[in-house]
Structure 1
Protein backbone atom coordinates (compact mmCIF):
# COMPACT_ATOMS: atom_id res chain seq x y z
CA UNK A 1 0.00 0.00 0.00
CA UNK A 2 1.40 3.39 -0.98
CA UNK A 3 1.40 5.82 1.95
CA UNK A 4 0.66 8.91 -0.13
CA UNK A 5 -1.55 11.58 1.43
CA UNK A 6 -2.58 15.14 0.70
CA UNK A 7 -1.88 17.66 3.46
CA UNK A 8 -4.81 19.92 4.33
CA UNK A 9 -3.94 23.54 3.66
CA UNK A 10 -6.24 24.80 6.44
CA UNK A 11 -4.88 22.42 9.09
CA UNK A 12 -1.32 21.19 8.40
CA UNK A 13 -1.55 18.34 10.93
CA UNK A 14 -4.41 16.68 9.00
CA UNK A 15 -3.80 14.40 6.00
CA UNK A 16 -6.34 12.74 3.73
CA UNK A 17 -6.56 10.34 0.81
CA UNK A 18 -9.37 8.81 -1.23
CA UNK A 19 -9.27 5.28 -2.67
CA UNK A 20 -12.17 4.07 -4.82
CA UNK A 21 -14.55 6.54 -3.19
CA UNK A 22 -13.50 5.63 0.38
CA UNK A 23 -12.02 8.36 2.58
CA UNK A 24 -9.10 7.96 4.99
CA UNK A 25 -8.11 10.80 7.35
CA UNK A 26 -5.00 10.90 9.56
CA UNK A 27 -4.27 13.54 12.19
CA UNK A 28 -0.71 13.89 13.50
CA UNK A 29 0.04 15.10 17.03
CA UNK A 30 3.76 14.97 17.92
CA UNK A 31 4.48 11.21 17.58
CA UNK A 32 0.85 10.01 17.73
CA UNK A 33 -1.53 9.34 14.86
CA UNK A 34 -5.32 9.50 14.94
CA UNK A 35 -6.82 7.49 12.09
CA UNK A 36 -10.42 7.53 10.88
CA UNK A 37 -12.25 6.92 7.65
CA UNK A 38 -15.27 5.51 5.90
CA UNK A 39 -13.86 1.98 5.56
CA UNK A 40 -12.43 -0.27 8.30
CA UNK A 41 -10.63 -2.25 5.62
CA UNK A 42 -8.85 0.88 4.43
CA UNK A 43 -7.91 1.79 8.00
CA UNK A 44 -6.48 -1.67 8.67
CA UNK A 45 -4.51 -1.58 5.43
CA UNK A 46 -3.09 1.79 6.39
CA UNK A 47 -1.98 0.51 9.80
CA UNK A 48 -0.33 -2.53 8.24
CA UNK A 49 1.42 -0.32 5.71
CA UNK A 50 2.68 2.03 8.44
CA UNK A 51 3.88 -0.90 10.57
CA UNK A 52 5.87 -2.23 7.61
CA UNK A 53 7.72 1.07 7.26
CA UNK A 54 7.97 2.34 10.84
CA UNK A 55 8.35 0.95 14.36
CA UNK A 56 4.92 1.70 15.82
CA UNK A 57 2.28 0.44 18.25
CA UNK A 58 -1.42 0.03 17.49
CA UNK A 59 -3.30 1.18 20.60
CA UNK A 60 -6.68 0.33 19.11
CA UNK A 61 -9.80 2.45 19.42
CA UNK A 62 -9.23 5.86 21.02
CA UNK A 63 -10.48 5.84 24.64
CA UNK A 64 -8.32 8.32 26.55
CA UNK A 65 -5.94 11.02 25.38
CA UNK A 66 -4.27 14.00 27.07
CA UNK A 67 -6.74 13.96 29.95
CA UNK A 68 -9.78 13.62 27.69
CA UNK A 69 -11.92 10.51 28.02
CA UNK A 70 -13.40 9.31 24.71
CA UNK A 71 -16.45 7.02 24.64
CA UNK A 72 -17.60 5.78 21.23
CA UNK A 73 -20.89 3.98 20.59
CA UNK A 74 -23.61 3.73 17.96
CA UNK A 75 -25.09 7.09 18.99
CA UNK A 76 -21.89 9.07 18.62
CA UNK A 77 -18.81 10.12 20.58
CA UNK A 78 -18.73 11.50 24.13
CA UNK A 79 -15.78 13.60 25.33
CA UNK A 80 -15.23 14.64 28.93
CA UNK A 81 -12.44 15.59 31.33
CA UNK A 82 -14.08 14.55 34.59
CA UNK A 83 -10.89 13.17 36.16
CA UNK A 84 -8.97 16.29 35.21
CA UNK A 85 -11.75 18.48 36.66
CA UNK A 86 -11.59 16.59 39.95
CA UNK A 87 -7.82 17.00 40.01
CA UNK A 88 -8.23 20.78 39.58
CA UNK A 89 -10.55 20.88 42.60
CA UNK A 90 -8.16 18.77 44.68
CA UNK A 91 -5.18 20.97 43.85
CA UNK A 92 -7.23 24.06 44.72
CA UNK A 93 -8.25 22.54 48.08
CA UNK A 94 -11.93 22.55 47.08
CA UNK A 95 -12.57 18.84 46.52
CA UNK A 96 -15.33 18.86 49.18
CA UNK A 97 -16.77 22.34 48.62
CA UNK A 98 -20.46 23.03 48.04
CA UNK A 99 -21.52 23.26 44.41
CA UNK A 100 -22.92 26.36 42.68
CA UNK A 101 -25.55 26.66 39.96
CA UNK A 102 -23.62 29.10 37.75
CA UNK A 103 -19.92 29.71 37.03
CA UNK A 104 -20.26 33.45 37.64
CA UNK A 105 -22.68 35.63 39.57
CA UNK A 106 -25.37 37.25 37.41
CA UNK A 107 -24.44 40.80 36.44
CA UNK A 108 -20.94 40.64 37.95
CA UNK A 109 -18.56 43.19 36.39
CA UNK A 110 -15.01 42.55 37.48
CA UNK A 111 -12.41 45.31 37.29
CA UNK A 112 -8.75 45.84 38.16
CA UNK A 113 -9.95 46.82 41.67
CA UNK A 114 -6.59 48.36 42.56
CA UNK A 115 -7.94 49.53 45.92
CA UNK A 116 -8.44 45.92 47.06
CA UNK A 117 -5.84 43.75 48.77
CA UNK A 118 -3.69 41.54 46.56
CA UNK A 119 -3.96 37.73 46.71
CA UNK A 120 -1.63 34.80 46.01
CA UNK A 121 -0.84 35.06 42.32
CA UNK A 122 0.80 31.61 41.98
CA UNK A 123 -2.27 29.62 43.02
CA UNK A 124 -4.63 31.78 40.96
CA UNK A 125 -2.55 31.51 37.79
CA UNK A 126 -2.13 27.75 38.18
CA UNK A 127 -5.88 27.27 38.57
CA UNK A 128 -6.68 29.47 35.59
CA UNK A 129 -4.14 27.61 33.46
CA UNK A 130 -5.79 24.31 34.38
CA UNK A 131 -9.27 25.68 33.70
CA UNK A 132 -8.20 26.93 30.29
CA UNK A 133 -7.19 23.39 29.31
CA UNK A 134 -10.54 22.17 30.60
CA UNK A 135 -12.23 24.44 28.02
CA UNK A 136 -11.50 21.81 25.34
CA UNK A 137 -14.70 20.05 26.42
CA UNK A 138 -16.44 22.75 28.49
CA UNK A 139 -17.82 25.65 26.44
CA UNK A 140 -20.02 26.59 29.42
CA UNK A 141 -16.89 27.85 31.22
CA UNK A 142 -15.48 29.91 28.34
CA UNK A 143 -16.85 33.31 29.34
CA UNK A 144 -16.07 32.98 33.04
CA UNK A 145 -12.51 31.72 32.54
CA UNK A 146 -11.93 34.28 29.79
CA UNK A 147 -12.88 37.15 32.10
CA UNK A 148 -10.76 35.85 34.98
CA UNK A 149 -7.77 35.52 32.65
CA UNK A 150 -7.73 39.27 32.11
CA UNK A 151 -6.41 40.03 35.62
CA UNK A 152 -3.44 37.65 35.87
CA UNK A 153 -0.94 40.54 36.17
CA UNK A 154 -2.49 42.06 39.31
CA UNK A 155 -4.81 39.83 41.33
CA UNK A 156 -7.22 41.17 43.92
CA UNK A 157 -9.71 39.75 46.43
CA UNK A 158 -12.71 40.08 44.11
CA UNK A 159 -10.89 38.02 41.47
CA UNK A 160 -10.25 35.28 44.01
CA UNK A 161 -13.92 35.27 45.03
CA UNK A 162 -15.00 34.96 41.39
CA UNK A 163 -12.54 32.08 40.86
CA UNK A 164 -13.98 30.22 43.86
CA UNK A 165 -17.46 30.65 42.39
CA UNK A 166 -16.23 29.10 39.14
CA UNK A 167 -14.64 26.19 41.01
CA UNK A 168 -17.81 25.63 43.03
CA UNK A 169 -19.74 25.39 39.78
CA UNK A 170 -17.14 22.92 38.53
CA UNK A 171 -17.71 20.83 41.66
CA UNK A 172 -21.31 20.20 40.62
CA UNK A 173 -20.53 19.63 36.95
CA UNK A 174 -17.39 17.49 36.78
CA UNK A 175 -19.18 14.94 34.59
CA UNK A 176 -20.15 17.52 31.96
CA UNK A 177 -18.61 17.22 28.51
CA UNK A 178 -19.39 17.09 24.81
CA UNK A 179 -21.57 14.68 22.89
CA UNK A 180 -20.84 14.50 19.17
CA UNK A 181 -23.96 12.91 17.75
CA UNK A 182 -23.74 10.55 14.81
CA UNK A 183 -25.49 12.17 11.87
CA UNK A 184 -27.45 10.46 9.13
CA UNK A 185 -26.25 13.13 6.72
CA UNK A 186 -22.97 12.45 4.92
CA UNK A 187 -21.81 15.98 5.74
CA UNK A 188 -23.90 17.61 8.52
CA UNK A 189 -24.84 21.26 8.24
CA UNK A 190 -22.46 23.81 9.77
CA UNK A 191 -24.35 26.29 11.97
CA UNK A 192 -22.85 29.20 13.94
CA UNK A 193 -24.05 31.79 16.45
CA UNK A 194 -22.36 35.00 17.55
CA UNK A 195 -23.07 37.70 20.11
CA UNK A 196 -21.37 40.53 21.96
CA UNK A 197 -21.72 42.33 25.28
CA UNK A 198 -21.24 46.05 24.75
CA UNK A 199 -19.05 48.21 27.00
CA UNK A 200 -18.95 45.71 29.88
CA UNK A 201 -15.33 46.20 30.95
CA UNK A 202 -15.26 49.03 33.54
CA UNK A 203 -11.53 49.60 33.02
CA UNK A 204 -11.30 50.23 29.28
CA UNK A 205 -14.91 50.06 28.03
CA UNK A 206 -14.18 47.28 25.56
CA UNK A 207 -16.81 44.73 24.61
CA UNK A 208 -16.67 40.94 24.65
CA UNK A 209 -17.08 38.74 21.57
CA UNK A 210 -18.57 35.27 21.71
CA UNK A 211 -19.39 32.64 19.10
CA UNK A 212 -20.05 28.91 18.86
CA UNK A 213 -20.33 26.59 15.87
CA UNK A 214 -22.20 23.32 15.56
CA UNK A 215 -21.71 20.54 13.03
CA UNK A 216 -25.22 19.20 12.90
CA UNK A 217 -26.25 19.17 16.58
CA UNK A 218 -22.71 18.88 17.94
CA UNK A 219 -20.65 21.86 19.16
CA UNK A 220 -17.18 21.78 17.59
CA UNK A 221 -15.61 25.19 18.28
CA UNK A 222 -16.34 28.19 20.52
CA UNK A 223 -14.76 31.45 21.64
CA UNK A 224 -15.23 34.16 24.27
CA UNK A 225 -12.73 37.04 24.31
CA UNK A 226 -12.39 40.77 24.75
CA UNK A 227 -12.48 42.77 21.53
CA UNK A 228 -9.21 44.42 20.48
CA UNK A 229 -10.83 47.70 19.45
CA UNK A 230 -13.10 49.96 21.50
CA UNK A 231 -16.60 49.89 19.98
CA UNK A 232 -18.46 53.21 19.93
CA UNK A 233 -21.90 51.60 19.88
CA UNK A 234 -23.60 48.27 20.53
CA UNK A 235 -24.13 47.98 16.76
CA UNK A 236 -20.39 48.31 16.15
CA UNK A 237 -19.68 45.70 18.84
CA UNK A 238 -22.09 43.30 17.13
CA UNK A 239 -20.39 43.89 13.77
CA UNK A 240 -17.01 43.07 15.30
CA UNK A 241 -18.40 39.87 16.83
CA UNK A 242 -20.07 38.96 13.54
CA UNK A 243 -16.85 39.54 11.62
CA UNK A 244 -14.88 37.20 13.88
CA UNK A 245 -17.60 34.57 13.58
CA UNK A 246 -17.62 34.94 9.79
CA UNK A 247 -13.85 34.43 9.63
CA UNK A 248 -14.17 31.28 11.71
CA UNK A 249 -17.07 30.06 9.57
CA UNK A 250 -15.05 30.48 6.36
CA UNK A 251 -12.11 28.58 7.83
CA UNK A 252 -14.34 25.75 9.11
CA UNK A 253 -16.20 25.53 5.80
CA UNK A 254 -12.96 25.33 3.83
CA UNK A 255 -11.48 22.76 6.23
CA UNK A 256 -14.55 20.51 6.12
CA UNK A 257 -14.73 20.84 2.33
CA UNK A 258 -11.06 19.92 1.99
CA UNK A 259 -11.26 16.94 4.38
CA UNK A 260 -14.48 15.46 3.00
CA UNK A 261 -13.87 16.39 -0.62
CA UNK A 262 -17.31 17.98 -0.86
CA UNK A 263 -18.13 21.64 -1.42
Structure 2
Protein backbone atom coordinates (compact mmCIF):
# COMPACT_ATOMS: atom_id res chain seq x y z
CA UNK A 1 0.00 0.00 0.00
CA UNK A 2 1.46 3.36 -1.02
CA UNK A 3 1.82 6.11 1.55
CA UNK A 4 -0.05 9.32 0.94
CA UNK A 5 1.74 12.57 1.70
CA UNK A 6 0.12 15.96 1.80
CA UNK A 7 2.10 19.08 0.93
CA UNK A 8 1.05 22.31 2.53
CA UNK A 9 2.35 25.86 2.48
CA UNK A 10 3.85 26.34 5.93
CA UNK A 11 5.08 29.93 5.42
CA UNK A 12 7.79 31.91 3.72
CA UNK A 13 11.08 30.01 3.58
CA UNK A 14 13.55 31.36 6.15
CA UNK A 15 15.90 28.48 6.95
CA UNK A 16 16.80 25.31 5.03
CA UNK A 17 19.74 22.91 5.51
CA UNK A 18 21.71 25.46 7.58
CA UNK A 19 21.14 28.13 4.94
CA UNK A 20 19.40 31.27 6.14
CA UNK A 21 17.02 32.82 3.63
CA UNK A 22 15.96 36.45 3.98
CA UNK A 23 13.30 37.58 1.56
CA UNK A 24 12.94 41.34 1.45
CA UNK A 25 11.24 43.70 -0.95
CA UNK A 26 14.45 44.57 -2.80
CA UNK A 27 16.38 41.29 -2.63
CA UNK A 28 16.63 37.64 -1.67
CA UNK A 29 19.64 36.92 0.55
CA UNK A 30 21.24 33.56 1.37
CA UNK A 31 23.72 33.19 4.21
CA UNK A 32 25.06 30.77 6.79
CA UNK A 33 26.04 32.92 9.76
CA UNK A 34 24.73 30.47 12.40
CA UNK A 35 26.51 27.56 10.67
CA UNK A 36 29.68 29.66 10.41
CA UNK A 37 29.65 30.37 14.14
CA UNK A 38 29.19 26.64 14.87
CA UNK A 39 32.09 25.80 12.55
CA UNK A 40 34.32 28.33 14.31
CA UNK A 41 33.32 26.81 17.65
CA UNK A 42 34.03 23.22 16.47
CA UNK A 43 37.47 24.28 15.28
CA UNK A 44 38.32 26.12 18.49
CA UNK A 45 38.53 29.43 16.60
CA UNK A 46 35.42 31.14 18.02
CA UNK A 47 37.55 33.76 19.79
CA UNK A 48 40.26 34.14 17.15
CA UNK A 49 41.46 37.44 15.71
CA UNK A 50 40.04 38.37 12.33
CA UNK A 51 42.03 38.87 9.15
CA UNK A 52 41.04 40.56 5.90
CA UNK A 53 42.19 37.99 3.32
CA UNK A 54 41.41 34.27 3.18
CA UNK A 55 44.94 33.18 2.20
CA UNK A 56 48.46 34.57 2.15
CA UNK A 57 49.74 35.77 -1.21
CA UNK A 58 52.05 33.44 -3.13
CA UNK A 59 51.52 30.65 -0.58
CA UNK A 60 51.91 27.19 -2.12
CA UNK A 61 51.58 24.39 0.44
CA UNK A 62 52.72 21.01 -0.83
CA UNK A 63 51.95 17.36 -0.14
CA UNK A 64 55.68 16.82 0.31
CA UNK A 65 55.63 18.92 3.49
CA UNK A 66 57.92 17.66 6.25
CA UNK A 67 56.22 19.57 9.07
CA UNK A 68 54.55 17.69 11.91
CA UNK A 69 51.35 15.76 11.16
CA UNK A 70 48.11 17.11 12.62
CA UNK A 71 44.90 15.35 13.64
CA UNK A 72 43.54 14.15 10.28
CA UNK A 73 40.00 13.68 11.60
CA UNK A 74 39.78 17.26 12.86
CA UNK A 75 41.33 18.60 9.65
CA UNK A 76 38.89 16.62 7.51
CA UNK A 77 35.92 17.72 9.64
CA UNK A 78 36.80 21.40 9.44
CA UNK A 79 37.62 21.31 5.72
CA UNK A 80 34.35 19.45 5.09
CA UNK A 81 32.50 22.16 7.01
CA UNK A 82 34.23 24.84 4.95
CA UNK A 83 33.23 23.00 1.77
CA UNK A 84 29.59 23.23 2.86
CA UNK A 85 30.04 26.92 3.64
CA UNK A 86 31.11 27.55 0.03
CA UNK A 87 27.42 27.18 -1.02
CA UNK A 88 26.78 30.73 0.13
CA UNK A 89 30.39 31.96 0.31
CA UNK A 90 31.99 31.73 -3.14
CA UNK A 91 34.72 34.10 -1.92
CA UNK A 92 36.38 31.21 -0.07
CA UNK A 93 35.98 28.56 -2.79
CA UNK A 94 39.56 28.75 -4.07
CA UNK A 95 41.19 28.38 -0.65
CA UNK A 96 38.81 25.60 0.39
CA UNK A 97 39.63 23.72 -2.80
CA UNK A 98 43.31 24.21 -2.13
CA UNK A 99 43.28 22.95 1.48
CA UNK A 100 41.11 20.01 0.40
CA UNK A 101 44.12 18.60 -1.44
CA UNK A 102 45.75 17.71 1.87
CA UNK A 103 42.94 15.88 3.72
CA UNK A 104 44.67 12.51 3.39
CA UNK A 105 47.88 13.62 5.17
CA UNK A 106 47.46 17.06 6.77
CA UNK A 107 50.50 18.81 8.21
CA UNK A 108 51.07 21.87 10.37
CA UNK A 109 51.56 24.20 7.40
CA UNK A 110 48.27 22.96 5.89
CA UNK A 111 46.54 23.53 9.23
CA UNK A 112 48.00 27.05 9.36
CA UNK A 113 46.35 27.77 6.00
CA UNK A 114 43.01 26.47 7.32
CA UNK A 115 43.40 28.62 10.46
CA UNK A 116 44.04 31.70 8.30
CA UNK A 117 40.87 30.91 6.35
CA UNK A 118 38.88 30.49 9.58
CA UNK A 119 40.18 33.87 10.80
CA UNK A 120 38.92 35.41 7.53
CA UNK A 121 35.55 33.68 7.94
CA UNK A 122 35.34 35.01 11.51
CA UNK A 123 35.60 38.56 10.16
CA UNK A 124 32.99 37.97 7.45
CA UNK A 125 30.37 35.90 9.29
CA UNK A 126 27.42 37.85 7.87
CA UNK A 127 28.47 37.65 4.22
CA UNK A 128 26.43 35.63 1.76
CA UNK A 129 24.81 35.83 -1.64
CA UNK A 130 22.28 38.51 -2.58
CA UNK A 131 19.89 38.17 -5.50
CA UNK A 132 18.33 41.56 -6.25
CA UNK A 133 14.67 41.74 -7.24
CA UNK A 134 14.70 43.99 -10.25
CA UNK A 135 11.75 45.53 -12.01
CA UNK A 136 12.20 47.25 -15.35
CA UNK A 137 15.71 45.93 -15.91
CA UNK A 138 17.43 42.81 -17.14
CA UNK A 139 20.20 40.80 -15.52
CA UNK A 140 23.64 40.82 -17.11
CA UNK A 141 26.10 37.99 -16.43
CA UNK A 142 29.78 39.02 -16.31
CA UNK A 143 32.41 36.30 -15.91
CA UNK A 144 36.17 36.55 -15.43
CA UNK A 145 38.51 33.56 -15.30
CA UNK A 146 42.19 32.92 -14.68
CA UNK A 147 44.40 29.86 -14.66
CA UNK A 148 47.78 28.94 -13.22
CA UNK A 149 49.18 26.46 -15.72
CA UNK A 150 51.00 23.57 -13.98
CA UNK A 151 51.38 25.62 -10.80
CA UNK A 152 50.67 22.75 -8.40
CA UNK A 153 54.02 21.85 -6.86
CA UNK A 154 53.04 18.22 -6.24
CA UNK A 155 51.45 17.04 -9.49
CA UNK A 156 52.06 19.95 -11.88
CA UNK A 157 48.30 20.32 -12.19
CA UNK A 158 46.72 23.58 -13.22
CA UNK A 159 44.58 25.68 -10.91
CA UNK A 160 41.74 27.75 -12.27
CA UNK A 161 39.52 30.39 -10.79
CA UNK A 162 36.29 32.04 -11.85
CA UNK A 163 34.66 35.28 -10.75
CA UNK A 164 30.98 35.70 -11.66
CA UNK A 165 28.92 38.88 -11.37
CA UNK A 166 25.17 39.08 -11.90
CA UNK A 167 24.33 42.75 -12.44
CA UNK A 168 21.19 44.57 -13.30
CA UNK A 169 21.27 46.55 -16.52
CA UNK A 170 18.53 48.87 -17.77
CA UNK A 171 16.39 47.54 -20.60
CA UNK A 172 17.28 49.41 -23.77
Q: 1:181 Cα shift?
A: 1.1
C-alpha RMSD over aligned residues:
1.7
- Inter-partner Cα distance in structure 2 for 1:114 and 1:191: 38
Q: Residue 123 of structure 1 corresponds to which residue in structure 2?
A: 74
Supply the distance in 1 between the matched residues of 2:95 and 2:27 (Cα, whole angstroms).
29
Q: Deviations over 1:206-226 (max 9, x none)?
A: 211122434435xxxxxxxxx
- Normalised to the residue count of structure 2, the TM-score between the two structures is 0.88
Q: Post-superposition shift, 1:56? A: 2.3
Contact 1:110/1:201 (8 A) holds in 2: no
**For residue 129 of structure 2, what is the aligned residue in structure 1?**
178
In 2, the alpha carbon distance for the partners of 1:57 and 1:66 equals 19
- Equivalent residue in structure 1 for 2:38, among 84, 87, 90: 87
TM-score, scaled to structure 1: 0.59
Match of 1:61 among 12, 17, 40: 12
Contact 2:39 2:81 in 1 (8 A): yes
The structure with the larger Rg is 1
* Structure with the higher fraction of residues in helix conformation: 1
What is the rounded CA distance, in whole Å, between the counterparts of 1:137 and 1:114 in structure 2? 31
- How has the CA–CA distance of structure 1 residues 59 and 151 changed in structure 2, closer, same or farther, with 3 Å as cutoff? same
2:158 counterpart of 1:207: yes
In 2, Cα distance between equivalents of 1:106 and 1:114: 18
Unaligned runs of 5+ in 1: 1-52, 218-263
Contact 1:183/1:216 (8 A) holds in 2: no
CA distance in 2 between counterparts of 1:191 and 1:115 reads 42
Query: How far apart, in 1, do the equivalents of 2:128 and 2:37 lie?
Result: 13
Alignment of 1:71-110 (within 5 A): 71-110=22-61
SS of equivalent to 1:171: helix
Superposed structure 1 runs of 4+ greater than 4 Å apart: none
- Equivalent positions of 1:217-228 (< 5 A) are none
Q: Is residue 2:103 matched to residue 1:152? A: yes
Q: Equivalent of 2:63, from 112, 123, 132?
A: 112
Gaps of 5+ in 2: none
3-state SS, counterpart of residue 139 of structure 2:
coil
TM superposition shift of 1:186: 6.6
